[in-house]
Amino acid sequence: MIRRIAAVVLTLALTPALVHAQDTVLTVTAPSADVYKSPSNVTPIVGHASRGAVLPVSRNLGSWVKVAWPGAPDGVGYVHVTMGQLGPASGAAPATSMSPRASSTTAAPAPVPPARTAVPTRAVARPAVNKTPESHLLGVGGLVGPMSTIGASARAWRDDRLGFQLALTRDAMSSDLAGNRVTSMQIEPGVVYGLLDHVTDYVWLRPYVGAALSVRRETLRFPTATGVEPVSDSGLGLRLFGGTEFTFASVPQLGLSVDLGYRRVPTPFVGFEADRLSAAIAGHWYIK
C-alpha cells in the first residue's frame, strides 16, 4: 500500500499540468482584494486590487491563485479565490487596477502590449476552466502506517494555519511463539498548525506540527485450541507529530501528507508494546 501511494506521488510530481496566465484570469469582485507575498494571510501584503481588476493567473493552488503583480519584489503575488471569479482570458490583454502597498518607492505599472490585428486561424478547443475551485477547507481520505496500520482520516482547516483532524485506525500484532494476536482500534482527534509554506511551479508544500489524543481499545486473542476467551482493555494516550502536506498544481483538490511522530499509549499486554515512534502517509481529497 505504501509503495502504491509513493508511486502516485512520484507520478504527480513528474507530470504537472500548470494553468498559464494566457488561459485563466481572476476578476476581482470584492471591493478590494489584498495581494500577498505568499499563499497565506500571515505573509506581508504587497498591494491591493480594486473591484473589476483582471489579474492573469499563472497557477491555481486551490484556495489561492498566483497572479502577475509588478508592485511585488519578484513580480508576482497571491490572491485568495474568494476575492474574485476565475474565468478564461479574453483575446485582448486584460486591464488591471492595482493599488500597491504604500512605500517609499512606487513600482511603475507594467507596459501594455499593443493590440494585435486578428489573423484568421483555425479554432482550437480549449479545456473548460473550473470557476469554483476547491478552497481546501475540508478533506476526507485515508492513511497507512507501519504494523499493518490502516484507517480513515479527515482534516479541516479553519484558516491557512490552524487545522483540525480526526483519524480512525486499526492495527494488529502477532506473537510467533505463543500464537497470540492483539488487534487495536484507535480514534485520534487532534489539532495541526501550519508553518511557513513553500511554493514552486509544480507543488505547494505546507509543513505542519500537531498533537492528538489517542483513544485506544486493544483485544488479545488466543489460539482457538486453547479455548481461552479474548481479553480487552482500553486506554488513553498522546501523539505528537510533524509532517508536510503536498498539493500538486495538476490536482489542486488532492493533499498528500507524510508525517513522523511520537506516541505514548498504554500497553496492557506484555510482549505487545506499540512502537513509540510512528510514521504515516495520508491522502485527503478536499471536497470544499
Verdict on whether the full-model pTM lies above 0.85? no
C-alpha cell, 274: 506499540
Domain count, the chain: 2
- Report the pLDDT averaged over residues 101-112: 46
Residue 275, domain extent: 138-286
* pLDDT tens per residue, range 25-67: 889 999 999 999 888 776 789 999 999 999 998 888 878 889 9
Is there a domain that residue 11 lies in?
no
Q: Assign residue 35 a region: left if phi > 0, alpha if psi is -120 to 50, beta otherwise? A: beta
Among candidate residues 72, 100, 128, the one where a domain is terminated: 100
Strand (E) or helix (H) holding 190: strand 181-194
Which CATH number goes with the domain that contains 228?
2.40.160.20
Greatest C-alpha distance within the chain = 89
Burial class (CB in 10 A: 0-12, 13-18, 19+), 14: exposed
- Specify the 3-state DSSP secondary structure of 14: helix
Is there a domain that residue 132 lies in?
no
Q: What is the DSSP string of 52-87?
A: T-EEEEEEE-SSEEEEE-TTSTTSEEEEEGGGEEEE
Is there a domain that residue 2 lies in?
no
Distances, alpha carbon 70 to alpha carbons 21, 34, 73, 116, in Å: 14, 14, 8, 23
Confidence (pLDDT) at 243:
95
CA distance 172 to 1: 16
Residues 178 and 88 in one domain: no
Residues 64 and 162 in one domain: no
The residue count of the chain comes to: 288
Residues 243 and 146 in one domain: yes
Which CATH number goes with the domain that contains 28?
2.30.30.40
* pLDDT tens per residue, range 4-23: 555 544 454 444 444 343 47
Q: How confident is the model at residue 103 (pLDDT cuts 50, 70, 90)?
A: very low
Residues 163 and 264 in one domain: yes
Of 34-48, 81-95, 173-187, 193-207, the poorest mean pLDDT is in 81-95
Cβ neighbours of 209 (radius 10 Å): 15
Residues 241 and 176 in one domain: yes
Amino acid, single-letter form, for residue 242: G
